[in-house]
């Protein structure tokens, strides 16, 4: 599952990078722009494999003193403003909007 999510992340970013076309009116446009005729939204693009924290859903918080966040690794984008986050403790990929990514901290 993590590999398919990572591949979709690569395609998401690739479709938003500039292309070179032989047609003069289509130069310096992204694939996304050529297909949809609108500029892509780039405010949600983040670095792949960045460390972050994800908030646990309320039903999974056992008590008030229980840790409310988990360490994650950013592995992709979901619909809307959500991200795919890999939680190493559980070995699973989750989709969550409550992700805070730490800048300049990537996994090699």
The tens digit of pLDDT for each residue in 73-86 reads 888 888 777 888 88
pLDDT of residue 66: 64
Residue with tokens 């076309």: 21
- Residue 21: which pLDDT band, with cuts at 50, 70 and 90? low
pTM of the model: 0.64
pLDDT of residue 1: 58
Give residues with Cβ within 8 angstroms of 24, minimum separation 6: none
pLDDT of residue 38: 86
pLDDT of residue 86: 86
SS3 content of the chain, % helix, strand, coil (to 5): 25, 35, 45
Q: Are 18 and 28 in contact (CB under 8 A)?
A: yes
Summarize pLDDT for 24-58 with one digit per residue, the tens: 666 678 888 888 888 887 777 777 778 888 877 76
Instruction: Indicate the pairing of strand 69-77 with strand 83-87.
Output: antiparallel
pLDDT of residue 107: 62
User: For the chain, what is the mean pLDDT?
Assistant: 77
């Amino acid at each position: 599952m993590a590999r398919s999510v990572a591949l979709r992340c690569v395609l998401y970013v690739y479709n938003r990078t500039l292309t070179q076309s032989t047609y003069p009116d289509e130069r310096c446009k992204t694939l996304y722009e050529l297909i949809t005729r609108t500029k892509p939204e780039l405010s949600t693009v983040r670095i792949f494999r960045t460390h972050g924290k994800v908030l646990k859903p309320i039903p999974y918080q056992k008590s008030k003193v229980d840790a409310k966040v988990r360490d994650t690794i950013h592995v992709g984008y979901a619909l809307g403003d959500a991200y795919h986050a890999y939680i190493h403790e559980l070995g699973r990929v989750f989709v969550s909007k409550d992700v805070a990514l730490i800048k300049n901290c990537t996994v090699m």
